[in-house]
Amino acid sequence: MAKSKTGFSCSGCGAIFGQWQGQCPECGEWNTVFETLIDKPNSTRSEKFLGYSGQTLAQIQSMADIHLDETARISSTFSEMDRVLGGGVVPGSVVLLGGDPGIGKSTLLLQVLCQLPQGIGTLYVTGEESLSQVTLRARRLGLPEGNIRLLAETDIERITHISHLEKPRIMVIDSIQTMFLQDISSAPGSVSQVRETAAHLARFAKQTDTMIFLVGHVTKEGGVAGPRILEHIMDAVIFIEGRTDSRFRVMRALKNRFGAVNELGVFAMTESGMKEVKNPSAIFLSRFDNPAPGSVVMVVWEGSRPLLVEIQALMDQAYGGAPKRVAVGMELNRLAMLLAVLHRHGGIPVYDQDVFINIVGGVSVRETSADLALLLALTSSLHSQALPKGLVVFGEVGLSGEIRPVAGGLERLREAIKHGFTHAIIPKANAPKSRIDGLEVIAVQFLSEALTAIRNF
């Protein structure tokens, strides 16, 4: 029987070599040469498993002749997960779900398969647990068992062969780092195995319209374990984030060919599994009854909705050496830039102050609408002046001290009103055209105006 030929290729430049080398002679990069499939015969064992013998070749079609089914998506039974996926799971798509160990990846996908309606074929493939362990977890969570089929296997060729016979609509592979192809001699979890097994599953999904979820491990840096090309193969890459001391989990789409990226879904880990949080703003606003200096609520935009988040700042006298700059939940370089703006255009020097910033609830803020709230929280901490409990702030701060508008200003204000806020400091360009009942809007154009406004409270 003809065997596949393997070789070694550079993940940086794509050069192919006959043997492994520590440094790629073409691009000069180190540790980028990995084993890969160079040539695959027409009649391999994997093609027999997939049942491709006799299959007609793909044909060119006109886009005008292709008819789309508007109801093709299937709900995951979780509205928060559907939001992140862009409205549901698309047939033939491959979704990579990553996260830290114990964050709830396997639990969530097990809940999805068990809660799907009857008639939607499912297959849960486990490479890390036995079938009895998966069943024990499902029964502990009180999940229905009639609509899920289990398979304990790590050979991708056998998995695709069985799937071709079973014809499931949705399949879960837990995890991609435990799967292997027999044509590759390296161990499961290696770069070449992860890349080739993921590509094999992606081809199977496209040809059979099977929806596949891949569970992926993460590295100590927080990225998906395996080659970077793994994320390019996927249709969607989703991460579940959360702190070990919190029961809340945040699901975020880093890549999505069928929906918006950076969409956010919030879950809570309970004894009965993952539960949706319908009002995520409420969980990030667990503030004390008495307002404290250095605390202010901002409205950030996550995906397609506004989210109220508390930001805390602490400034303290620095003793000896360079002052500390610590930011949890936001970019440290942006903090340094905003401190320079506060000194130059706000008249508040901080060169002798240690600065600590924390976004409450473990949320990572990536947009610039948090600039103004950050500077007002720092000023509040420095002067030991607590801001009103009903105050909400958003706006981007420029290097000239100007307050720039942000997207979705009116929607942010409506979200603040929904949670009982009575005052808002916002960019002048975001000021509503008509008065909003129950909300006093203070529109500012420069940082000095915002600092004056908080002194008058």
pLDDT classification of 291: cutoffs 50, 70, 90: confident
Q: Where are the domains of the chain?
A: 1-43, 44-49+73-278, 283-455
Specify the pairing of strand 150-152 against strand 122-126. Answer: parallel
* Token reading at 46: 């994997």
DSSP 73-127: -B--S-HHHHHHHTSSBPTT-EEEEEE-TTSSHHHHHHHHHHHSPTTS-EEEEES
State residue 256's pLDDT score: 92
pLDDT for residue 259 is more than 90: no
Looking up tokens 């720039």 gives 404
Q: What distance, in Å, lies between the first and last C-alpha atoms of the chain?
A: 82
| Mean pLDDT along residues 148-155 | 94
Q: What are the distances in angstroms from CA 299 to CA 57, 389, 409, 429?
A: 53, 14, 9, 16
| Mean pLDDT along residues 199-227 | 85
State residue 417's pLDDT score: 92
Looking up tokens 């964050």 gives 103
State residue 457's pLDDT score: 77
CA distance 281 to 298: 11
Fold of 283-455: Ribosomal Protein S5; domain 2 (3.30.230)
The packing angle between helices 371-382 and 447-455, to 10°, is: 50
State residue 364's pLDDT score: 82
Rounded to two decimals, the pTM is 0.73
Q: Where are the beta strands (DSSP E) in 329-375?
A: 353-359
Helix (H, G, I), strand (E, B) or coil at 387: coil
Range in 150-164, 214-228, 287-301, 423-437 with the lowest mean pLDDT: 214-228
| Mean pLDDT along residues 183-200 | 87
**Higher model confidence: residue 64 or residue 210?**
210
| Mean pLDDT along residues 302-316 | 89
pLDDT classification of 47: cutoffs 50, 70, 90: very low
Task: Give the CATH number of domain 44-49+73-278; options: 3.30.70.920, 1.10.260.40, 3.40.50.300, 2.30.42.10.
Answer: 3.40.50.300
| Mean pLDDT along residues 254-278 | 87
DSSP 278-298: S-HHHHT----SS--TTEEEE
CA distance 33 to 408: 47
| Mean pLDDT along residues 119-129 | 93
* Token reading at 408: 């979705």
pLDDT for residue 78 is more than 70: yes
State residue 52's pLDDT score: 45
